[in-house]
Amino acid sequence: MKTRIIICVSNRPDLLEKQIQLLNNFMIGEKVVSVVYDTRDKQYESFFKKICDEYNLEYHLHLSEPNCAPSFYHAQAATWAYQNVIKDEDVLMLLDHDMFLIDEFDIEKMGKEAKNMARDRFSVASMVDKTGEMYSLVISSGE
């Protein structure tokens, strides 16, 4: 099963590079990483393009509407990515630019576990399969 990982970035190319290194170290299974650079002024474009070229990542430029709140920019970029970057992959992961894996992570295994867990568990992330059905990745409450 192939996982499409979309990372929305706006600044801090150094964080993206570390995030990619950790994804390569800890993510189990086939993955395609797409970087969506959300910007109004393209200040860091050359840096993000260089990292994408170096790690063979898909690069997408998203020009945001000016004069909005930071959370709006992030939501706008994620929505744009969902509508324009996703193809027919089995699983989708949307990651913030400052989220890092620190241990092995098997999305297929987690997806199966999440699908079978009770609803009263604490949700920490979500994924969408190719049919559009959403599954939450969760941490058990210990009950």
| Section 104-119 average pLDDT | 70
Please enumerate in sequence order all residues whose Cβ is within 8 A of that of 13, keeping only pairs 6 or more positions apart, or say none.
Answer: 44, 47, 48, 50, 51
Supply the DSSP symbol for 65: P
Q: Write the pLDDT tens digit of every residue in 23-70.
A: 999 999 889 999 999 999 999 999 999 999 999 999 999 998 888 887
Q: What confidence score (pLDDT) does residue 123 get?
A: 42
Q: pTM, whole model, 2 decimals?
A: 0.75
Confidence class for position 16, pLDDT limits 50, 70, 90: very high
Mean of the per-residue pLDDT values for the chain? 80
Radius of gyration of the chain (CA): 16
How many Cα neighbours within 13 Å face the side chain of 89? Answer: 23
User: CB under 8 Å to 2, separation ≥6 — which residues?
Assistant: 29, 30, 31, 32, 89, 90, 91
Q: Which CATH class is domain 2-139?
A: alpha beta
pLDDT in tens, 64-103: 888 888 778 888 888 888 888 887 655 678 888 888 888 8
Half-sphere exposure of residue 84: CA atoms within 13 angstroms, side-chain side: 13
Does the structure show a pLDDT above 50 at 139? Answer: no
Q: Nearest 5°: phi and psi at 30?
A: -75, 135
